[in-house]
A and B are shown apart, each in its own frame.
Chain A
């Protein structure tokens, strides 16, 4: 899902440069290591294309985490109980931490966090489409935990075995912390659906109606429209295809929805006995493309918020650096 933009690009041409005999040999050894399921570490030789793809994917994952803090951060001050306030704060804080681990992993590949922020703030780098949707009610918090984090977990677990070790290690850390995110969201919804007032139940159903389709779009375009997926799978960066992940997610979620007592807003959703899976309705890929291209409900606001935080904070970062330099000079004197 962090390859959404890359998936929709044309086939990446970087793979086709002419190479020396030595480089071809290194490439063969690299491929053999990948095929054997070995891990690649930061200083190992790697094809330039592998390195670039990883920087893009890891950094877009990182950007998604920190942009994702915004739609949820909206509701911290309005959380309805102290317990929910604490849970939401902890969750949003985790997301900041996940972004940090991922930036750190990307930095092992020859880029810096400042460069990655520059790419995000200029609009060059993407983040997951889902965070361009507005959080309009408290039920959105539980729904995001249930559906959005659920989708993210489904995508993330296979990456814990990705070939690039710093990324895999970051993912293991993230998955360990992520387990509570989906559970708390589902539990919040279950509480409202089981013990809440009718107004609360209506709030939950309304949230599900708005978040369902964007959530299944998170997995990216269909496999036959993702020309770069195959290379990523070959490299062990991507382990499961978009369509397969999406199908797994839908199948898991249908039962959860029944437990909650909510209706998923897809009249074509039904069990297919032959496929042993759920059939589902047509996804509006034009909406997905539009949102990815910057024309969703909240793209401008999200980016503006991140740019503002960065710009407003410049004097702080400069002051800390200046102070550190002064200390160093004092110690050297």
Chain B
């Protein structure tokens, strides 16, 4: 069995992995729809989004590995870390649920990602800025696709409304984590690497409110619950994702693929 790599806990590395791992794990969930979507056209659309996210995670993980300076490449980082060294927001690892759950989660995450990438275009790190230039276009599209579907389902049939309501009740409390600031993003902000997550809350809420207004949805009450995936402490779901994702790399040490 292949053992885990040891990740250097450098704030800049951790900051980038929060974004990169969120893309990686969300891609993993979106790809589960392949061959199972409600309509063929959506199969293709969801796969497109998963591909965009894999691309973003590859770019970020590669760069994070460079900054870390321990010789870790994108695949070692993607497949050989311990669970506590993954920094995706918990919301990304939740099971894909039904189509309402998927599009609502996409809306929450893509809106955050878009605002983040917009600001990362101005990063003091040239590589991050370059990655952001491409990713922001993708995030815009993901957000638009998700928003249109949330409106469609919220104002579709009684059944679709019931499902969006259920998805909202489950998902909303996991959104708060995306706007928690700590030493990591404070350091990133100070270095000009990227924005503080807390600074994204207001614009995010404004955009979500606009979509919810069109959909006839109400912003739920705040919950005191805070998920902690960005700090490496995940939900029960993460273990299963990693077991599947890491399986081949763990089982074939030294394998060349």
Chain A residues within 8 Å of B, Cβ to Cβ:
66, 69-70, 73, 76-86, 89-90, 92-93, 96-97, 99-100, 103, 138, 188, 191-192, 195-197, 199-200, 305-306, 308-310, 312-320, 322-323, 326
Q: Are A81 and B160 in contact (CB under 8 A)?
A: no
Which of the candidate stretches B3-11, B33-41, B125-133, B220-228 sits at the interface with the other chain?
A: B33-41
Q: CA of A81 to CA of B241 in the docked complex: distance in angstroms? A: 15
Known: A80-B79, A191-B257. A92 touches B34 (CB 8 A): yes
Chain B residues near A322: list those with CB within 8 A: 156-157, 160
Q: Are B44 and A96 in contact (CB under 8 A)?
A: yes
How would you classify the secondary structure of chain A's contact residues: helix, strand, loop or mixed?
helix
Using CB atoms, name the residue of chain A closest to B161: A319
> Mask for B40-84, Cβ within 8 A of A = 1, else 0?
111110011011001101100100000000000011001100000
Q: Are B155 and A309 in contact (CB under 8 A)?
A: no
Chain B residues near A317: list those with CB within 8 A: 38-39
19 further interface pairs, Cβ-Cβ under 8 Å (given A77-B28, A93-B34, A315-B160): A73-B35, A77-B244, A78-B245, A80-B75, A80-B79, A80-B249, A80-B252, A82-B24, A82-B75, A92-B47, A96-B40, A96-B43, A96-B47, A138-B248, A305-B36, A318-B156, A318-B159, A323-B152, A323-B155
User: 7 closest pairs, A vs B, by CB?
Assistant: A313-B38, A319-B156, A319-B160, A93-B47, A316-B38, A80-B248, A69-B35
Chain A residues near B36: list those with CB within 8 A: 305, 308-309, 312
Chain A residues near B78: list those with CB within 8 A: 81-82
Q: CA of A99 to CA of B50 in the docked complex: distance in angstroms? A: 20
CB distance from A325 to the nearest CB of B (A): 10
Q: Are A81 and B257 in contact (CB under 8 A)?
A: yes
B206 within 8 A of A: no
Q: Are B256 and A191 in contact (CB under 8 A)?
A: yes
Q: Are B257 and A77 in contact (CB under 8 A)?
A: no
CB distance from B67 to the nearest CB of A (A): 18
5 sampled A-B residue pairs with Cβ under 8 A: A82-B54, A191-B257, A306-B35, A313-B38, A314-B38
Q: Are B156 and A103 in contact (CB under 8 A)?
A: no
Known: A89-B54, A315-B159. A320 touches B152 (CB 8 A): yes
Chain B residues within 8 Å of A, Cβ to Cβ:
24, 28, 31-32, 34-44, 47-48, 50-51, 54-55, 57-58, 61, 74-75, 78-79, 98-99, 151-153, 155-157, 159-160, 163, 244-245, 247-249, 252, 254-257
Q: Are B255 and A196 in contact (CB under 8 A)?
A: yes
Using CB atoms, name the residue of chain A closest to B241: A77
CB distance from A140 to the nearest CB of B (A): 12
Q: CA of A80 to CA of B247 in the docked complex: distance in angstroms? A: 8
CB distance from B214 to the nearest CB of A (A): 11
Chain B residues near A320: list those with CB within 8 A: 152, 156
Chain B residues near A314: list those with CB within 8 A: 38
Q: CA of A129 to CA of B36 in the docked complex: distance in angstroms? A: 20
Chain A residues near B244: list those with CB within 8 A: 77-78
CB distance from B34 to the nearest CB of A (A): 4
Chain A residues near B155: list those with CB within 8 A: 323, 326
Q: CA of A258 to CA of B194 in the docked complex: distance in angstroms? A: 52
Chain A residues near B257: list those with CB within 8 A: 80-81, 84, 138, 188, 191-192, 196
Using CB atoms, name the residue of chain B closest to A324: B152
Residue among A79, A199, A306, A320 with most chain B CB within 10 A? A320
CB distance from A170 to the nearest CB of B (A): 14
Using CB atoms, name the residue of chain B closest to A77: B244
CB distance from A210 to the nearest CB of B (A): 18
Using CB atoms, name the residue of chain A closest to B58: A82
Using CB atoms, name the residue of chain A closest to B156: A319
Chain B residues near A103: list those with CB within 8 A: 40
